Structure 1
Amino acid sequence: MTETTIPLPPITEDAGTGATLEARRISCWFGDHKVLERVSLTMPAGQVTALIGPSGCGKSTFLRTLNRMHELVPSASLAGEVLLDGEDIYARGRRLTEARRRIGMVFQKPNPFPAMSIYDNVTAGLKLTGQRVRESSKDALVEECLTKAGLWKEVRARLRQPGGALSGGQQQRLCIARSLAVRPKVLLMDEPCSALDPTSTRRIEETIRELAHEVTIVIVTHNMQQAARVSDQCAFFLAEQGTPGGIVEHGPTTAMFGNPTDPRTADYVEGRFG
């Protein structure tokens, strides 16, 4: 892969209010097993969309289709379209690395490079996506991204120490900073707080809300209180009686929790199943 030196403007100038992400009629398989059936959802620019529903209903699979991670599984296949500001990321000729740069991912378990320094963790994604920042700009980039991730004040005196030495919550925020360094339009989060203590969870949630006006965020969560706190809209997934997963209902978070139209949604958000 050829690297090019490019100027990287501040996140606020590059990302603005993020980008609209639209899934159209997404169906997914693992081998012959169909796990999602014609799912369509618009995730508006500059908002947080929460994907909720019981385990096994296809939320994480759907999330992974949104930046082409689903295709990493050898037996996986997909039908449908994923549009980023109107352009299909699966269209012929679209580069996989470009989709991953514009649509970042934060996983359930923090995955910093443990032996790599905090500083180098932040800049690692640039090399992986074929970008190169001038040395004179790197310090400012690292500070900016760690600040956006709510971690700068905690680590600024030890940037050359290993990222693996941080606490779990700090590691997760480091992963967010690493994702931000490549200037994504969208940030996907797959249960980013499930392994964290309440204090770390609160910090991650604060970071999500602070980033939302700059980067479109899509988060999978089983925590209904978290979905209510951080999201602008929710999509409720369900797979019933061995059928593929799909969206039962979606809409503004206040409506989904306060006045859902489908009784199954009400049962789930009120804790009667799942």
Structure 2
Amino acid sequence: MTITDAHVSTVKLPAVGAARPATLEARDISAWFGDHKVLDRVSLTMPAQKVSALIGPSGCGKSTFLRILNRMHELVGSASLAGQVLLDGDDIYDRGRRITHARREIGMVFQKPNPFPAMSIYDNVLAGLKMNGIKASRADKDDLVEECLTKGGLWKEVRDRLRQPGGALSGGQQQRLCIARSLAVRPRVLLMDEPCSALDPTSTRRIEQTIGELKDEVTIVIVTHNMQQAQRVSDQCAFFLAEQGTPGVIVEHGPTEVMFTNPQDSRTNDYVNGRFG
């Protein structure tokens, strides 16, 4: 992807703390790829300043649901959906709401780290500013890079090599760089699609620590297949399931401790205790 100054407008860099964490609410979300229905009337509230974990077997619609939360689902030509996604009560799919605005407020960190490989660590952090038409002085950019890399748990490791390519970092460092890049545009919600699945245990622990440090500043929604990780990092869980070719639904959701120690549905109990999935 090429980023040029042609995309830059006169929008100013948000002040630190200007974007408060938001509550995200999905109401009766159904989703299709062509004629294939993958989600059926899914509703879930993801509270501000909390970590919500989406758990369930592969193929039950968790990642599709996550992509619906910041309008990435509609990038697929055959995709369609019904329902509402509310950011502090405002529907992000409202016809008067720009898709770029929704994605700025609701950031995404993907399963595979995707820094711009030839771009420096410094410029990777700032990439979202140009994409979103945000101008900043050099001093503000320097401060922002340090702030976001610190929040991403990476500053101490890279502060002496900010001009080196982001693609030269290790996998775990690249993932933390992607988190720092997402934070630079001051999102109110951060979505994470299995951010640790390809990482070693040490990098996974560092990402989990970063999640814990960030949740007071940004609402976090994470898809994970790692039940121990869901227990460690999340405040609430939603268990997705698609049975016998039916669309994915939420079987049960609630506080993480309750979901793992006293679930109401036997299928939830079987899943969190490793009996299937």
Please classify the TM superposition score into its range, dividing by the shorter chain length: over 0.9
Give 1:173's aligned amino acid. Answer: R
Aligned equivalents of 1:241, 1:160: Cα separation in 2: 52
Give 2:154's aligned amino acid. Answer: L
Contact 1:8–1:133 (8 Å) recurs in 2: no
- 2:8 pairs with 1:26: no
How many angstroms does 1:2 deviate by?
5.6
Residue in structure 2 matched with residue 113 of structure 1 by the alignment: 116
Choose the corresponding residue for 2:203, options 200, 205, 210.
Answer: 200
Choose the corresponding residue for 1:15, options 14, 19, 24.
Answer: 19
- 2:9 pairs with 1:3: yes
- 2:107 pairs with 1:88: no
Report the secondary structure of 1:146's partner residue.
helix
Aligned equivalents of 1:182, 1:2: Cα separation in 2: 14
> What do the CA deviations read for 1:7-40 (whole angstroms, capped 9, x no partner)?
4211xx2234x10000000000000000000000
Residue in structure 1 matched with residue 4 of structure 2 by the alignment: none
Contact 1:5–1:134 (8 Å) recurs in 2: no
- 2:239 pairs with 1:233: no
How many angstroms does 1:122 deviate by?
0.1
1:139-218 matches, cutoff 5 A? 139-218=142-221
How many angstroms does 1:5 deviate by?
4.1
Residue in structure 1 matched with residue 3 of structure 2 by the alignment: none
Q: Runs ≥4 in structure 1, deviation > 3 angstroms?
A: none
Stretches of structure 1 lacking an aligned partner (at least 5 in a row): none
**What's the C-alpha RMSD, in Å, of the aligned pairs?**
0.8
Residue in structure 2 matched with residue 63 of structure 1 by the alignment: 66
Aligned equivalents of 2:147, 2:98: Cα separation in 1: 28
Aligned equivalents of 2:207, 2:84: Cα separation in 1: 30
How many angstroms does 1:131 deviate by?
1.2
Aligned equivalents of 1:5, 1:75: Cα separation in 2: 34
Which is worse superposed, 244-253 or 126-135?
Answer: 126-135
Contact 2:13–2:134 (8 Å) recurs in 1: no
Equivalenced residues, count = 271
Give the TM-score, by structure 2 length: 0.97
How many angstroms does 1:80 deviate by?
0.4
> What do the CA deviations read for 1:184-243 (whole angstroms, capped 9, x no partner)?
000000000000000000000000000011100000000000000000000000000110
Contact 1:234–1:253 (8 Å) recurs in 2: yes
Contact 2:8–2:132 (8 Å) recurs in 1: no
> What do the CA deviations read for 1:78-123 (whole angstroms, capped 9, x no partner)?
1000000000000011101000000000000000000000000000
Aligned equivalents of 1:32, 1:266: Cα separation in 2: 32
How many angstroms does 1:132 deviate by?
1.5
Aligned equivalents of 1:132, 1:174: Cα separation in 2: 21
Choose the corresponding residue for 1:250, options 249, 253, 257.
Answer: 253
Which is worse superposed, 1-10 or 201-210?
Answer: 1-10
Percent identity between matched residues is 80
Aligned equivalents of 2:227, 2:109: Cα separation in 1: 19
Stretches of structure 2 lacking an aligned partner (at least 5 in a row): 1-6
